[in-house]
Amino acid sequence: MPAGTGSGFVWDKQGHVVTNYHVIRGAQGAQVGLTARDGTTTKYAAELVGYNPDKDVAVLKVDTGIKGATPIQIGSSKGLRVGATTLAIGNPFGLDHTLTVGVVSGLGREVQSPSGRPITNVIQTDAAINPGNSGGALLDSSGQLIGMNTAIYSPTGASAGIGFAIPVDTLKYQVDTI
């Protein structure tokens, strides 16, 4: 997997892209690659707008806007139930355009942020999340964003069936604040 590779999603028509802070931490620059429906990929230079390491959230901006990109449909993490279908989108091990399917396997979990502070109320899913999925979208069965893939529990470094996502309701607040 190329160093510094992660995932993210288009937040709005102004060219904001949301990802995890740990994906861009220490980066000297950033590029956002967007694949069109015809399979062609266009890379855009992106600028860091801001971040919150305590919540592991970062916002990038493509100054020229992202032509032809449709912002993600933002759902809600309120009312999620264990057993609900989840779809994790990302770039695991550099394998772009990967989709894995699972369920919400736990709610109200806690993971450690890059700053060492706890991120609370995290969604647990058994959809496979691996290195490179960080910053990717966790969707519900309607295709709406319910969280951002951020961590796995794994003694080996690969998916053990326990992944964690920052809830979209937390993301909404963080992105608006950033």
Round the CA-based radius of gyration of the chain to a whole number and report it.
15
Rounded Cα–Cα distance for residues 161 and 128 (Å): 6
- Rounded CA-CA distance 110/14 in Å is 32
| Span 114-168, pLDDT tens digits | 999 999 999 999 999 888 899 999 999 999 999 999 998 877 766 677 999 999 9
Instruction: Name the DSSP class of 78.
Output: T
Concerning whether 22 is annotated as a catalytic residue, the answer is yes
Is residue 16 annotated as a catalytic residue, yes or no? no
The question of whether 134 is a catalytic residue gets the answer: yes
Q: Which of 7, 77, 113, 134 is flagged as catalytic?
A: 134
Per the residue annotation, which of 22, 77, 105, 126 is the catalytic one? Answer: 22
pTM here is 0.92
Helix (H) or strand (E) holding 43: strand 41-52
